[in-house]
Structure 1
Amino acid sequence: MRPRTAHTVRTVRTALATLTAGVAAATCLTAAGPATAAARNECSPAVTIQGFSDALDETTFEGTFVGNLSALAVDRRGTLAALSDRSALFSLDGRTLQPRAVTPLADENGAALDSEGLVVDRDGTYLVSTEGEPAVRRYSPGGEILGRLAVPDALRVAPAGRAVSNGTFEGLTLRPDGRTLTAAMEYALSGDSPGTVRFQTWRRDARGGFALGAQYAYRTDAGLGVPEITALADGRLLVLERGYTAGYGNTVRLYLADPRRATDTSGVAYLTGQPGVRTAAKTLLADLVDCPDLGATARQPQPNPLLDNIEAMAVTGKHGGRLDVVLASDDNQSVNQITRFYRLTVRPGGH
């Protein structure tokens, strides 16, 4: 949603390769022409934008609006799963991005979800985070609820906890080894320093479920929140930070975060910059305002017309030290916003 203002290895590899090639070549992705270094589409030394697609903007599929996209994940079947925050889970063709199927989601009472984060687990089930409670639920491929994970009381929306409304589990990611699940709060808890958000983890138990694990603090840039995170194999995270300012537009930055030496804050009631509490280290990979616009247009003021309300992210392939990353924007079903997909090459390197 709009941010607040100020089964096998071979099968998986084939699926990723199909998705990466498809997004690169067959989805109306627009790329800048050849020429100078600036025309090589570099956003920064670590990030290159390969193209974008507006193919799904203002479209419907089987009576469901294709938009409001809050999360992406690679499905083991070679499709791209795209989650709408209006209780819909789309399966997108890996070559064309066109929808193949849509699955409605609901809570235990059949009510709609503010669904924000998505993981496709190794057994094909879906883990979906919502920010209303917040909660993390497991769904079958057909959309039936199979269970839900424990959530620390402090992370619940006030008055049950200290989270602010519309500021909880926006990001959700599973480490590639399948052992650690991480959810990112979008904004700080009441009583924590502004911009200090909490990342909650769960560890897979012997029965294949998830038990509460460590918690880490991450500091955002001033005025920004965390709409999405994606885990890398070594335990680091790609983190999107995003904000919106009326009359100016969106700020979207991609960071590399390292929580491996951060303090476990699950027992720290209030994060106020106290000594001894180490936040997750972070390194800026790119401010997307610096990407070439590739001829994109915007429907509202933007510092770069390529930008919109970018909220979803998935790593779709890896080639040596380079990652293929797909982003998507949440148009909030607004005439002033766009459902747009972006393809990046990210080189996290040794940062």
Structure 2
Amino acid sequence: MRTRTALAAAAAALAAATCLTPTTTAVAASRQPYAHACSSSVRIDGFSDALDKKTFQGAFVGNLSALAAGEDGTVAALSDRSQLFSLDVRQQGHGAPSATPVRVTDLADEKGGPLDSEGLVVDRDGTRLVTSETEPSVRRYDRDGKLLGRLPVPAALQVAPAGRAAPNQTFEGLTLQPGGRTLIASMEQSLAGDGQDAAGRPLVRLQSWQRHGRDEFVLGPQYAYPADKGLGVAEITAAGDGRLLVLERGFTAGTGNTVRLYLADPRRASDVTTVTNLPGGAAVRPAGKRLLADLGACPSLGATTRQPQRNPLLDNIEGLAVMKRSGGVLRLLLVSDDNQNPVQTTRLYALTVRLPRP
């Protein structure tokens, strides 16, 4: 959405990695105290502002709202202005990520119009699944940006008056669970008529689809997720074991951004597809969640900011991708959306997360 405005080394093999490429090789996590700790589970390895206010082949490299590991070793970075960049992302010796654009692809809707593109998945065959907040929608594109189709969306999740969603508060996150059979999109905020859980946290809906055959996705269960008060769900990403990494984010003028990383588990949550108004009674169980880190508690590592922030490291973080899985240790890449605003920054962050056991 266009808002206004890292733990010592995990394992020797993990810390020695020099290229952020996806893998599932298992290595044991170190039990030593963490350096650059944001929490007992998360450390920040470094950051980079090298992409800030840059252009590539005439395209502004900013407004980045989502990241996904590409099938060709690159990282796909989605701009909310209907453009998809391919980045060559590497980890420098001091832990900071470096990124170089190598390709840009234009995206459009069925009529050739622009998208408010927010969520991104690179499917196993290289197909790009992209959400737009406008309707909302999930569309499929090939590597060259050709529109291949569109997934069904429940009527209630559509923007009012067609449904009960508020404009620019819809499909902000998108992820594909391991195995490639279950796709999940996250609404950013609650639907009109939906309420809070017993702790006073607004309930946001997560919509799933199940894959039938190679390309067809049909509507699956819908879950309730309790977002922190004053924050919205900016991104979701599969943790690799059925759980989800959830990025919650908010902005307060004069104070700056709040960004929290949660681990959520929808596997025992109720299907709320037929629940008109959440919370829907005692029998309805929302997805459980556990705080991994408030990124405002990370060391700033010398970062600077052009607007008030409680930690100069923070900005409008919207994109999150798992770049490497090593047992219960994940290497993450995050990106902030600068909204093409001179006081905001396009910043890449490298984090290491040690997942707690289920």
Matched-pair contact (CA < 8 Å) for 2:3–2:339: no
Match of 1:155 among 154, 157, 161: 157
Matched-pair contact (CA < 8 Å) for 2:323–2:330: yes
Partner of 2:53: 58
CA distance in 2, matches of 1:4, 1:199: 25
Seen in structure 2, the aligned counterparts of structure 1 residues 254 and 331 have a Cα distance that, compared at 3 Å, is same
Partner of 2:172: 170
Partner of 2:257: 250
Match of 1:333 among 319, 340, 353: 340
SS in 2 for 1:289: helix
CA deviation after TM superposition for structure 1 residue 208, in Å: 3.1
CA distance in 2, matches of 1:4, 1:285: 26
Matched-pair contact (CA < 8 Å) for 2:20–2:324: no
> What is the identity percentage for the equivalent residue pairs of Structure 1 and Structure 2?
63
Root-mean-square deviation (CA, aligned residues, Å) is 1.7
CA deviation after TM superposition for structure 1 residue 232, in Å: 2.3
Matched-pair contact (CA < 8 Å) for 2:178–2:242: no
- Deviation per residue, 1:65-113 (Å, 9 max, x gap): 0000000000010000000000000000133411000000000000010
CA distance in 1, matches of 2:214, 2:353: 35
Query: Is it true that 1:295 corresponds to 2:290 in the alignment?
Result: no
Matched-pair contact (CA < 8 Å) for 1:2–1:309: no
- Deviation per residue, 1:199-240 (Å, 9 max, x gap): 000001024311100000001111000010001222100000
Partner of 1:270: 277
Partner of 1:186: 188
CA distance in 2, matches of 1:172, 1:107: 18
Unaligned 5+ segments in structure 2 are 6-13, 22-32, 91-97, 197-201
Unaligned 5+ segments in structure 1 are 6-16, 25-36
CA deviation after TM superposition for structure 1 residue 321, in Å: 1.4
CA distance in 1, matches of 2:312, 2:160: 37
Partner of 1:21: 18
CA deviation after TM superposition for structure 1 residue 273, in Å: 5.4
**Which letter maps to 1:134?**
P
Partner of 1:136: 138
CA distance in 1, matches of 2:4, 2:305: 20
CA distance in 1, matches of 2:327, 2:287: 25
Seen in structure 2, the aligned counterparts of structure 1 residues 192 and 4 have a Cα distance that, compared at 3 Å, is farther
Partner of 2:329: 322
- Deviation per residue, 1:120-175 (Å, 9 max, x gap): 00111100000000000000100010000000000000000000011000000001
> Which consecutive segments of 4 or more residues in structure 1 shift more than 6 A?
none
**Which letter maps to 1:341?**
L
Query: Is it true that 1:106 corresponds to 2:108 in the alignment?
Result: yes
Match of 1:77 among 62, 72, 89: 72
SS in 2 for 1:42: coil
Partner of 1:210: 217
- Deviation per residue, 1:163-194 (Å, 9 max, x gap): 00110000000012101000000000000015
CA deviation after TM superposition for structure 1 residue 4, in Å: 7.5
